[in-house]
Chain A
Amino acid sequence: MRYLTIALAKGRLAKTTMKYLKEIGISCPEMEDPDTRKLVFVNDELGLKFFLSKPSDVPTFVEYGAADLGVVGRDTILEENRKLYEVLDLGVGKCRMCVCGPAEAAERLKHHELIRVATKYPAIARDYFYNRKHQTVEIIKLNGSVELAPIVGLADVIVDIVETGGTLRENGLDVLEVITELSAKVVVNQVSMKMEQDRISDIITRLREVVRAHSK
């Protein structure tokens, strides 16, 4: 039997995913050891391999078939725009991609005027402003603490993920526009889906049941 390889986005999402997988009888004891320094975890019995990667790299690993399946947030999928099958919504990690800024910036979003946008997601921001709002913007790519940008005057608004909005409010920022809803997705390599159809479909079908049970 060939190994199926599953790429997980490091962090909370990986833990939730493993919990869901456990409910359908897929586990990986190697992974549960908190002190492990391994990069790839194997379950020989089930013919499965797991690895953790930076979330933004999960779509890349899956597109090239280095991983057959992956679990990652929809924000990353949209930003990376890779050739993938997006087969299942896990219904966890729910949040929204928003345009945020000080309340007075709302006016500047209405008149197609040139504004500066800071974001970790330049592709999403560009698609939203150019193709949906038809507004010309200057996009500044940042790698973290995006909320800083409008506060210190680097940008007029930001495009970022909003979960509860707590950080925003504390810093005097508001959600100005919602771009899209986000949650965690299971993605599959397009070749693997066909070459290993039986095993992958089986995992997806059973996961779907688990997701349904949890969402009730």
Chain B
Amino acid sequence: MQQLLHTPDGVRDYYGEEYARKLMLCDKIRETFRLYGYQDIMTPVFEYFDIFNAERGTIPSRHMYKLFDRDGETLVLRPDFTPAIARCASKYFADTALPIRLSYLGNTYVNTLGYRGQLKETTQAGAELVGEASVEGNAEVLAMIIDLFRAVGLTEFQIEVGDVRYFKGLLKEAGISDDVRAQLRTCIENKNHFGLEEILEENHIEGQLARVLTRLPHLFGSPEEILEEAEKLTSNTVALRATQRLKRLCACLKEYGVSKYITLDLGMLGLHEYYTGIIFKGYTYGTGDHIVTGGRYDHLLEQFGREAPSIGFGINVDILQQALTSQHIPMQGRRPAVLIMFDSSRFAEAAVKARELRSQKIPVHMLRMKGMDAAGIQNYIHENHVVCTLEYAGGRTDIVQKGEVPVCDI
């Protein structure tokens, strides 16, 4: 019979140095969340389908893993965290008018198409700032993301910020149908200049509105230039309020000392109606996909019975780790360890030494020497990040030491 050892398509095992690095990465992410006053929250891996349905989530229903419980209720493995966090915020923090800061780290499950090299189980870390509508709140979230990326060792990255109210304001004034609006949104989001012109022509959209819409796919780059052009392009009050808020946001980010990581893209609209204010994505080299995405969604909590403006983001930890690896950024994985090799006759000595080292927080591997060949031991040393070996050989009284005992760094 053929042994079944491999995992299904889209899920994988993590072990060894790679997993140690991933855990370390998660620790640093959590640490940054705590420094900004966010409390950890854990929600179940599966919940009612309705929590994540169309208006609440960003993942289409057909990409969710669905199951049924005994009562015939439809459950899904969480495809995304935000709706679950919103549910918690409404349920447990209903009485407070003050902001709530929540952060999470866990796995999400999206049933993507096969043969695309995408994992179906991915680790997401993120935070939600609930009940805070201010520009300062937006700045806090962006500054936290930037601090987080710097904490894990990234140096070259960009956070790109847009505001969907610029686009929404323009279209509302013009009274454009939902259907055309969706088409425009897709073309602008994909920077499809040609397709955009076609739609404008077909629908007889002309004048100032047509001019600003055709410029939208190109309105990305440094904040000063983009805002200046964006303000010249329109006299729409909603759109201009959006640029004013972006200006104030940039000023706040300057106070946090993170301006150099910020660019604007007013053509970034998100493919869903979900976002109501600023929207952002983070990019770096070494991965073809963004590493963080988020924005303001002031109406999500209303659906769970509580009105509270909120802003949040999610980081794809797997893609972040992939970027760090491909940029050759050193990541600490397993701590350096000591290998104690002993013969049974000298176990007492070896055990005393192991207790002493472990009390100093130094990882110790114990290995009985009987029947071990040199090559096997070398291999063990290599695979387990051993920097020092202590040999308690039988029939002798000395200790053969190779390498220096590491110093504990935590």
Contacts and interface: CB of A to CB of B under 8 A. Distances in A.
B193 A88 contact: yes
A136 to B, nearest CB: 18
Main secondary structure of the interface of A (DSSP, over half): mixed
B334 interface: no
B234 interface: no
A40 interface: no
A142 interface: no
B287 A191 contact: yes
Interface string A103-118: 0000000000000000
Contacts of A2: 285
A48 B160 CA distance: 26
A190 interface: yes
B158 A86 contact: no
A195 B191 contact: no
Interface in B258-287: 263, 265, 283-285, 287
B283 A86 contact: no
Contacts of A83: 289
Nearest to B285: A195
B194 A89 contact: yes
Which residue of B220, B265, B287, B289 has the most chain A CB atoms within 10 A of its CB atom? Answer: B289
A193 B191 contact: yes
Contacts of A66: 288
A195 B158 contact: yes
A192 B158 CA distance: 11
A191 B288 contact: yes
A41 interface: no
A89 B198 CA distance: 12
Interface string A64-78: 111000000000000
Given A191-B283, A191-B290, A195-B158, A86 B220 contact: no
Interface string A134-162: 00000000000000000000000000000
A110 B217 CA distance: 39
Interface in B237-267: 263, 265
B117 interface: yes
Contacts of A119: none
Contacts of A216: none
Interface residues of B, number: 22
Nearest to B288: A65
A25 B381 CA distance: 55
Which of the four size classes fits the interface of chain A? 20 to 34
Contact of B191 (A64, A65, A86, A89): A86
Given A194-B263, A194-B283, A195-B283, A87 B288 contact: no
Interface in B289-307: 289-290
Main secondary structure of the interface of B (DSSP, over half): mixed
A194 B194 contact: no
B236 interface: no
B195 interface: yes
A88 B194 contact: yes
Interface in A37-89: 63-66, 83-89
Contacts of A36: none
Interface in B147-163: 156, 158, 160
Contact of A194 (B117, B190, B217, B220): B220
B290 A190 contact: yes
Contact of A86 (B160, B190, B289, B290): B190
Interface in B33-85: none
A215 B158 CA distance: 37
B183 interface: no
Contacts of A89: 194
B288 A85 contact: no
Contacts of A131: none
Given A66-B288, A191-B289, A194-B158, A85 B191 contact: yes
Contacts of B223: none
A149 to B, nearest CB: 25
B221 interface: yes
A164 interface: no
Contacts of A87: 191-193, 217
A63 B288 CA distance: 7
B314 to A, nearest CB: 17
Contacts of A185: 194
29 contacts: A2-B285, A63-B288, A64-B117, A64-B288, A65-B288, A66-B288, A83-B289, A84-B190, A86-B190, A86-B192, A86-B195, A87-B191, A87-B193, A88-B193, A89-B194, A188-B191, A189-B288, A190-B289, A190-B290, A191-B287, A191-B288, A191-B289, A194-B160, A194-B263, A195-B156, A195-B283, A195-B284, A195-B285, A197-B220
Q: Top 8 closest A-B pairs, CB basis?
A: A65-B288, A85-B191, A89-B194, A64-B288, A86-B192, A191-B283, A194-B283, A86-B190
